[in-house]
Structure 1
Amino acid sequence: MLWFFIFVLLLVVMNVWTMVNSLFLYPLRAGKHEEADQKVSLLVPLRNEVDNVEGLIRSLSSLTYPNLEMLLLDDHSEDGTYEKLLSLTVEDARFTVLQGKELPDGWNGKVHACHQLSKKAGGDYLFFLDADARVVPTVIEKTLGTMKKRKAAMLSGFPFYPNHHFLSHMLVPLQHMVVLLHLPLFMANRTTKPMFTAACGIFIVIERSAYLAVGGHESVKDSLVEDVHLAREMKKNGYRMILANITSSALSYMYESNQETWAGFKKNLYTGIGRSTWMVVFLTLLYAILFVLPGGLAIFGMITGALYLLLPYVLLITFKMYVDARTGHPLWLSFLMPVAGMLLIAMMWASMLVHKRGRTYQWKGRSYQ
């Protein structure tokens, strides 16, 4: 039974580590006397986002920060996104709607759209937000207050995800879990070491001077995970980049269907772990042990009456429930963590095989290597 004791101890350590590590994920809070002397450019790239336009504009229209411009760029949409943007923003002078240029060779589509937006922006801070995001009215005050308090040139965070499909429920909230489990947040938020970095392209705020100094999005023009790579460029150049818990201030309707969830994760997962086969093998073994095995032991224990075998599953639930409670996601998701673990493993292999077979990743009508 030594193996069982070691396994239980490992899960206890995982719980304690995650709880301690989460203490260094900064909350998003406005300063006591937040001034609006610095202009903010809120920048949103859109490609075939007609279903998100109304909710996006309603959310952005409620922003209370006074020194604000909002630039929306339609990236060759084919579903009427551009026309709907024009019709819903005509009465608010803070909005400017742009049409994107043709995608040059060697550029990722979203990266090129963000690059074009940055060229038109006049703010001291650039706030890159995805079209499927919704934010609270005071999000800019909170973000600037946090950045100034922490002396950060860049801030990013993973939003709350109100999922409505099985795969999205299982996979999307795991982004929070992966950060809290794998990333030493003390090092990530208090040092400029590039290896300790994570970011979410849905929500990025960056000082314009620092952005230009590192080469902006042009420095990561061919990246499929440009958010992380841009954050690393910031740290390589000595700028402080921090992660914040933004779940009470921003949400994202990230994927609209199971098929879109599968395609999105397949595009990003293998690239996100450095396209390393050895890392896929290592994470497969790690997740099989930590996330899948407790479920198997629990089933075996209930069948045989060896109820002590349920203990690893209880510890796994505790771990996931803590993460979900911190990030506002439904607590019932924790009971399905073994299923989510199996799906995450399957997604890693599916993502890797696309690259290994010389195929391309498909996203929003474009192909990427």
Structure 2
Amino acid sequence: MLSPAGGPVAVLALVIAGAVALLTVHTAVNARLLRRPARRPSTVEVAVSVLLPLRDEAQRVRPCLEALLAQESVPGLEIVVLDDGSTDGTADVVRAVAGDRVQLITGTVTPPGWLGKPWACHQLAGAARGEVLAFLDADVILAPHAVAAGVALLDGFDLICPYPRMVAATPGERLVQPLLQWLWLTFLPLRAMERSPRPSLAAAGGQFLVARRAGYERAGGHAAVAGAVLEDIELARAVKRAGGRIALADGSGLATCRMYASWAGVRDGYTKSLWASFGSPAGAAAAVLALLLLYVAPVALIPVAPWAGLAGYLLGVLGRVVTARATGGRTLPDALAHPVSMLIFGYLTARSYRLHRKGSLVWKGRGVDTLAP
């Protein structure tokens, strides 16, 4: 029997466990509904341009380029690469690997009102000839059929994100990177996102984005998101505002991506953008507190309410396992550290807002929040 002092705490633990159970069920439903590419996509019959912006990527662009040059079932694939002011010989690596098989252009100085990546993508889109535009990051390595499969997934949509399998090696990566897929599988109703015209109900990942040129241009292209730190999500919202449709898909069989190779990279990469993810500091505080209550508090409650606390913790772990199985990630033992991941996420969010308020957020040598209100 629960003691009087433990009663309210035990009830709280049960309520939290119930909420986590509902969210984990939603994760499982989304995982089942997640769109997946065809195993053997047919030959693409429209002109496709792959657009690759590069800034100081000499150390990791080679595998990306080699995979692009090996694409199958996309006759006449156009590959346009932009060197965005690199100082490490990135352009020389592109020429050595690809020669004249890609169109290499030199980016111009970022104009007022723009951030670096949207400006680079805007220039790339202007140089491309394809009816379909596939935007790619340098840390993405495509399977031979990836572009063809991405184009096939566009059926009925104007923009789709085949989310790559996130490669995580160091402890910092393994604690943080899986949260990318877990967050949208857990909290975003995927089918409602596809059907709803609401721009706020949108998600995307800029690592691998495929768009119909007509829908992209109708939305204003990257000019519509010129000053956006999260230009991928804002582009998806712009497509919705213009009457287009967007979707997410499991791209774990199409592409791999190792965004960061160290804790410092993870820390700085998330710090530069988390402040732009929640709409306001109050929204960020509410979201982080909710995550801590749902996924960290159960562990703290185990001594007082053992069964309810343990159930809440294990249900949170199960949500991570479901996400990993659906997106090609690690399951156990990584999922067991989910409460630690939540604590780190809270720290990174607080750090992002602190540095944003100071105006000291920098990425690849350029300020990223100078346009923020």
Shorter-chain TM-score: what band?
over 0.9
In the alignment, residue 18 of structure 2 is paired with which amino acid?
Answer: L
Does residue 215 of the first structure (1) align with residue 217 of the second (2)? no
Task: Tell me which residue corresponds to 1:6.
Answer: 15
Does residue 341 of the first structure (1) align with residue 342 of the second (2)? yes
In the alignment, residue 165 of structure 2 is paired with which amino acid?
Answer: F
Checking the alignment, whether the CA contact within 8 Å between 2:13 and 2:298 is kept in structure 1 is no
Helix, strand or coil at the partner of 1:105: coil
Task: Tell me which residue corresponds to 1:133.
Answer: 140
Does residue 296 of the first structure (1) align with residue 297 of the second (2)? no
Instruction: Tell me the distance in 2 between the aligned counterparts of 1:308 and 1:201.
Output: 39
Instruction: Tell me the distance in 2 between the aligned counterparts of 1:18 and 1:189.
Output: 17
Checking the alignment, whether the CA contact within 8 Å between 2:166 and 2:256 is kept in structure 1 is yes
Q: Which runs of 5+ in 2 are unaligned?
A: 1-9
Task: Tell me which residue corresponds to 1:360.
Answer: 360
CA offset at residue 58 of structure 1? 1.6
Q: Provide Cα deviations, 1:269-297, integer angstroms capped at 9, x if missing partner.
A: 110222x1111121122111112112333
Checking the alignment, whether the CA contact within 8 Å between 2:300 and 2:309 is kept in structure 1 is no
CA offset at residue 208 of structure 1? 1.0
- Size of the alignment, in residue pairs? 358
State the structure with bigger RCO (CA 8 A, min sep 6), 1 or 2.
Answer: 2
Helix, strand or coil at the partner of 2:227: coil
Task: Tell me which residue corresponds to 1:189.
Answer: 194
Checking the alignment, whether the CA contact within 8 Å between 1:43 and 1:71 is kept in structure 2 is yes
CA offset at residue 192 of structure 1? 2.6
Task: Tell me which residue corresponds to 1:47.
Answer: 55
Task: Tell me which residue corresponds to 2:276.
Answer: 271
Helix, strand or coil at the partner of 2:168: coil
In the alignment, residue 83 of structure 2 is paired with which amino acid?
Answer: D
**Structure 1 pair 87/131, CA: closer, same or farther in 2 (3 Å)?**
same
Does residue 83 of the first structure (1) align with residue 92 of the second (2)? yes
Instruction: Tell me the distance in 2 between the aligned counterparts of 1:244 and 1:60.
Output: 20
Task: Tell me which residue corresponds to 1:281.
Answer: 285
Instruction: Tell me the distance in 2 between the aligned counterparts of 1:88 and 1:232.
Output: 36
Q: Provide Cα deviations, 1:27-78, integer angstroms capped at 9, x if missing partner.
A: 122686x343211000000000011121112211210122311011111111
Of 115, 137, 143 in structure 1, the residue corresponding to residue 150 of structure 2 is 143
Task: Tell me which residue corresponds to 2:320.
Answer: 320
Q: TM-score, normalised by structure 2?
A: 0.91
Checking the alignment, whether the CA contact within 8 Å between 1:170 and 1:340 is kept in structure 2 is yes
In the alignment, residue 68 of structure 2 is paired with which amino acid?
Answer: L
Task: Tell me which residue corresponds to 2:183.
Answer: 178
Checking the alignment, whether the CA contact within 8 Å between 2:50 and 2:134 is kept in structure 1 is yes
Task: Tell me which residue corresponds to 1:37.
Answer: 45
Of 223, 228, 234 in structure 2, the residue corresponding to residue 229 of structure 1 is 234
4+ long deviations beyond 3 Å: 306-309
Instruction: Tell me the distance in 2 between the aligned counterparts of 1:257 and 1:5.
Output: 38
Helix, strand or coil at the partner of 1:42: strand
**Structure 1 pair 297/248, CA: closer, same or farther in 2 (3 Å)?**
farther
Instruction: Tell me the distance in 2 between the aligned counterparts of 1:58 and 1:225.
Output: 28
Helix, strand or coil at the partner of 1:159: strand
Q: Which runs of 5+ in 1 are unaligned?
A: none
Task: Tell me which residue corresponds to 2:130.
Answer: 123
Instruction: Tell me the distance in 1 between the aligned counterparts of 2:116 and 2:130.
Output: 23
Q: Which moved more, 1:343-352 or 1:164-173?
A: 164-173
Q: Provide Cα deviations, 1:98-153, integer angstroms capped at 9, x if missing partner.
A: 111111122111111111111110001010000010111111221122212xx111
CA offset at residue 166 of structure 1? 2.1
In the alignment, residue 287 of structure 1 is paired with which amino acid?
Answer: L
CA offset at residue 327 of structure 1? 1.1
Instruction: Tell me the distance in 2 between the aligned counterparts of 1:354 and 1:280.
Output: 15
CA offset at residue 22 of structure 1? 2.6
Q: Provide Cα deviations, 1:156-198, integer angstroms capped at 9, x if missing partner.
A: 1331111122222111110101101221111112233212100
Checking the alignment, whether the CA contact within 8 Å between 2:13 and 2:301 is kept in structure 1 is no
In the alignment, residue 178 of structure 1 is paired with which amino acid?
Answer: L
Q: Provide Cα deviations, 1:251-284, integer angstroms capped at 9, x if missing partner.
A: 111012211111110111110222x111112112
Instruction: Tell me the distance in 2 between the aligned counterparts of 1:245 and 1:191.
Output: 20
Q: Provide Cα deviations, 1:74-107, integer angstroms capped at 9, x if missing partner.
A: 11111111111111111xx541111111111221
Instruction: Tell me the distance in 1 between the aligned counterparts of 2:115 and 2:294.
Output: 35
Instruction: Tell me the distance in 2 between the aligned counterparts of 1:191 and 1:144.
Output: 22
Instruction: Tell me the distance in 2 between the aligned counterparts of 1:102 and 1:11.
Output: 48
Q: TM-score, normalised by structure 1?
A: 0.92
Task: Tell me which residue corresponds to 1:109.
Answer: 116
Task: Tell me which residue corresponds to 1:74.
Answer: 83
Checking the alignment, whether the CA contact within 8 Å between 1:134 and 1:252 is kept in structure 2 is yes
CA RMSD of aligned residues (A): 1.7
Instruction: Tell me the distance in 2 between the aligned counterparts of 1:37 and 1:7.
Output: 51
Instruction: Tell me the distance in 1 between the aligned counterparts of 2:14 and 2:62.
Output: 54
Checking the alignment, whether the CA contact within 8 Å between 1:68 and 1:94 is kept in structure 2 is no
Helix, strand or coil at the partner of 1:23: helix
Checking the alignment, whether the CA contact within 8 Å between 2:295 and 2:312 is kept in structure 1 is no
